[in-house]
Amino acid sequence: MALNYAEAWSPDLLEIMEQESLISPFITTAVKWVGKKTFHFTQMNTSGYKAHNRNGGWNRGSFEQNDVPFTLSHDRDIEFLVDVSDVDETNQTASIKNISEVFHKTQQVPEMDAYFFSKVATEAQKLDGYHSSTAIATYTKENVYSKLKTMLKAGKLRRYVGMGALITYVSSTIMDLLEQSTDFTRKIEMTQIAEGGIGLETRITDIDGVTLIEVIDDERFYDKFDFTEGFAPVASTSHKINVLIASPLTVKCVPKINNIYYFAPGAHTQGDGYLYQDHSLSDTFVFPNGKDNKIDSIYVDVDTATYTAPTDSNEDDEETA
């Protein structure tokens, strides 16, 4: 019987997610599972104060609490067959644990980032006042700071700015322009996103206490992806994201490494080698606030151009209006 290594390896693989991901501030595993891919989230709102009556008596208020189930929908799997000679000739560097770590670092984590960005962008695009579309060419070093300040004031985002509970992701173009801006006086530094000094390194700064993180790998930074095989922007449909704003208080990425199986040669019928199978679940959720159960903690600005698939693998991605 094949052993399921998911539980044994989860701490190491979850650490890889946090260290290598751009969205590590939003990753949480502290959920109570009620099934293989479902957890519960409690939503509550209350009525407010009423005028006190000096003749006695209390004003009766009301509260509403709902225990809402959420199901992870990003369901992924992969398997690799490692020929016995590959293991012998490489002194076992092609071991099943090494394959798992490299796969999660180079494939699973970038896809998780891409899914997060596209999911939050899609949700923001459904909300009045929480999305915009701006040609990237119209951003300049003279206006980039004021544009970002305006976005951070959209809707109820000021509430999260005041709490220090917003994170803003920007494209490299935006960060370059911000670095050249004479209106912006904060320092822009190369640093790690994850704690401990071993996380993914990128340029980070802040505006009014809101952390700004550069998305260097812009292949992850679109508002829509095709996840048929890996992930890729959708031609004539996807837009590159200029700016994406979200609060870790209400936006969560929930990963779950469901199954990792390892079959030694002779324990399966797919060839003379070691068989690795990996099945994981994840999803991104944008929760409403606790005041009136409305979503008000996200914002996205996308380029007006749509994605055009390159005609040659050696050519850079092109975009068309």
Beta strands in the chain (DSSP E): 38-46, 63-71, 74-83, 131-133, 167-171, 189-192, 201-207, 210-215, 225-226, 232-233, 241-246, 251-263, 273-286, 298-302, 306-308, 318-320
Contact 285, 69 (CB under 8 A): no
Question: Per-residue pLDDT for 3 more than 90?
Answer: no
Helix axes 6-20, 96-103, angle to 10 degrees: 40
Could you give the 3-state DSSP secondary structure of residue 302? strand
DSSP state of 127: S
**Within a domain: residue 61?**
no
Q: What is the pLDDT of residue 304?
A: 98
30-59: average pLDDT: 76
Q: What is the pLDDT of residue 45?
A: 66
**Within a domain: residue 68?**
no
CA distances from 131 to 126, 185, 186, 284, 297 (A): 8, 26, 26, 18, 12
Q: What is the pLDDT of residue 196?
A: 52
Among 32-36, 58-62, 125-129, name the most confident range: 125-129
CA distances from 275 to 76, 87, 92, 99, 230 (A): 17, 12, 14, 11, 20
**Within a domain: residue 140?**
yes
**Within a domain: residue 33?**
no
Question: Per-residue pLDDT for 321 more than 60?
Answer: no
Q: What is the pLDDT of residue 5?
A: 65
Q: Lowest mean pLDDT: which of 44-48, 91-95, 269-273? A: 91-95
Tokens of 236: 């004539």
Q: Lowest mean pLDDT: which of 39-53, 88-102, 151-165, 193-207? A: 88-102
- Which helix (H) or strand (E) segment is 3 a member of? none
DSSP state of 138: G
Question: Per-residue pLDDT for 318 more than 60?
Answer: no
Q: What is the pLDDT of residue 42?
A: 65
% of the chain beyond a pLDDT of 90? 48
Question: Per-residue pLDDT for 127 more than 90?
Answer: yes
In tens, the pLDDT along 136-191 reads: 999 999 999 999 999 999 999 999 998 889 999 999 999 999 999 999 988 898 88
Contact 63, 47 (CB under 8 A): yes
Tokens of 92: 């076992």
Q: What is the pLDDT of residue 32?
A: 76
User: What is the number of structural domains in the chain?
Assistant: 1
DSSP of 229-265 = SS-EEPTTT--BEEEEEE-TTTEEEEEEEEEEEEE-T
**Within a domain: residue 1?**
no
Tokens 């991104």 found at: 284
**Within a domain: residue 39?**
no
Q: What is the pLDDT of residue 195?
A: 55
- β-pairing, 306-308 vs 318-320, is antiparallel
Q: What is the pLDDT of residue 241?
A: 98
% of the chain beyond a pLDDT of 70? 86
Tokens of 8: 């044994």
CA distances from 158 to 2, 68, 272, 297 (A): 52, 27, 60, 9
Tokens of 36: 């293989």
Kindly give, in sequence order, each residue whose CB lies less than 8 Å from that of residue 68, ignoring residues fewer than 6 positions away.
40, 41, 42, 43
Task: Quote the domain boundaries for residue 247.
Answer: 6-28+73-311
Neighbours of 7 (CB within 10 A): 11
In tens, the pLDDT along 264-305 reads: 787 788 877 888 888 988 999 999 887 788 999 999 999 999
Q: What is the pLDDT of residue 7?
A: 66
**Within a domain: residue 34?**
no
Question: Per-residue pLDDT for 313 more than 60?
Answer: no
Among 5-14, 74-83, 94-103, 148-157, name the most confident range: 148-157
Q: What is the pLDDT of residue 184?
A: 93
In tens, the pLDDT along 231-267 reads: 999 999 999 999 999 999 999 999 887 788 888 787 7
Question: Per-residue pLDDT for 319 more than 60?
Answer: no
CA distances from 239 to 126, 198, 220, 284 (A): 15, 31, 11, 19
Question: Per-residue pLDDT for 33 more than 90?
Answer: no
Q: Report, in angstroms and rounded to the nearest whole number, the Rg of the chain calculated over CA atoms.
A: 23
- Planar angle of CA 206, 211, 216, nearest 5 degrees: 100
**Within a domain: residue 16?**
yes
Phi, psi for residue 128 in degrees, rounded to 5: -65, 130
In tens, the pLDDT along 211-230 reads: 999 999 999 999 999 999 99
85-91: average pLDDT: 60
What confidence tier does 122 reach under pLDDT thresholds 50, 70, 90? very high
